[in-house]
Amino acid sequence: MKFRVLFVGGGTGGHVFPLIAVANAVKEKALSSGVDLEILIIGEGQLLRDACMVSGFKFKSIFAGKIRRYFSFLNFLDIFKMPIGFIQSLWHMLLFMPNVVFAKGSYASFMPCLVAKLYFIPLFIHESDSTAGLTNRIVGRLANGVFIAFKNAELEFSPGRCLLVGNPIRKELLGASHDEGLVMFKFDANRKTILILGGSQGARTINNMVLQSLVMLTDKYQIIHQCGEGQFDIVKAEVDRIVKEGKDAYADRLINNYKLFSFFNINEMRLAYAASDVIVSRAGAANIFEIAAIGKPAIVIPITHSASNHQVLNAQEFANFGAIVIEEDNLATHLLINQIDKLLLPENYDRISAQIKSFAMIDAADRVADQLLLLNK
């Protein structure tokens, strides 16, 4: 008899990649233990669709309405998506009839979670951040169990229903050597490499700081800059302008020491992590736990004006393990370079790397998979 697991989610990489990591872990464990497994992933967004295609999972798209906690005309449009998403979820779940549903937060998982409870299907959710998002706060009341990445998050849910596991990461990101990474990016082993991550959507504040500081940054370091697909054309045009202005001065150095990407595939991400000496990133849970698993000193720049303030709280937790936090309002070239240099000091580097690595819980996906597969007993 088949054991069917339904995964639901969507949105940004912070929701999509942990979902895929758990699905892969369930698949591997089922294969090794002889479980006749069937997986279906439903949700919203091109990123999730692409990730399912690469990983070989069956995917069904649903409409998902997002209610923003601020005025937007999109709220009125998204209201009409919700009943459609509800009906789609009813239909997909009726046809698939899973033994268990696992939801990775985001507004795209709201309707499928409601439908799971209507069908009396066991529901488990995962909360990545140190404070729960709106969707998880609501569906957490319906869930049979809640996996959390930060200890503080258990305060948002019913006592006794939370299991601290960390944030699931993609195992494929681990294992590359520093030299492999440098070869991939055609970088010099005698210069330090800084990886700057703008996220899947693009962090405008971080991208603007990089552009304003580009000449100084490339004078000292080699830079790998992932700017986000939505920001790539703007950033690329500005980089081209800076190179043109520096034709007889710094242009060649900048071209050699700066590599721009809109988005990384899994292999590029693995090698970018491996090549880096220091990582500059937002404070999303996915970023933090991947950086910790790699064990690289990090500077995190949390979004400071989000509704739940989740990135600020994530960053505060990460700072307890050696990460440096720079607030958006204080972000400036001299401060960033000063903090990078501080992390690169020989007397600091190995100690901070070890501290940051101690924050990691690299078995998170496996622990979630074990709990889901218990329902097959």
Q: Is 12 annotated as belonging to a binding site?
A: yes
311 known member of a binding site: yes
SS3 content of the chain, % helix, strand, coil (to 5): 55, 15, 30
Hunting for tokens 């948002």 — which residue is that?
Answer: 156
| Structural contact between residues 169 and 287, judged by C-beta atoms closer than 8 angstroms | no
Residue type, 260: L
Nearest to 287 by CA among 8, 11, 13, 55: 13
Name the token pair of 142.
């319906």
Start-to-end CA distance of the chain, whole Å, equals 12
The answer to the question of whether 241 is labelled as a binding residue is no
Residue 67 assigned as binding residue:
no
DSSP structural state of residue 375: G
From 97, 117, 120, 78, select the one nearest 38 (Cα to Cα): 97
For residues 11 and 284, give the distance between their C-alpha atoms in angstroms, rounded to a whole number. Answer: 13
**Residue 200 labelled as part of a binding site:** yes
DSSP string for residues in 291-348: HHHHT--EEE---SS-SS-HHHHHHHHHHTTT-EE--GGG--HHHHHHHHHHHHSHHH
Half-sphere exposure for 184 (CA within 13 Å, toward CB): 19
**Distance, C-alpha 128 to centroid of its chain:** 9
Per the annotation, binding residues are 12-14, 170, 200, 266, 311
Per the annotation, binding residues for UDP-N-acetyl-alpha-D-glucosamine are 12-14, 170, 200, 266, 311
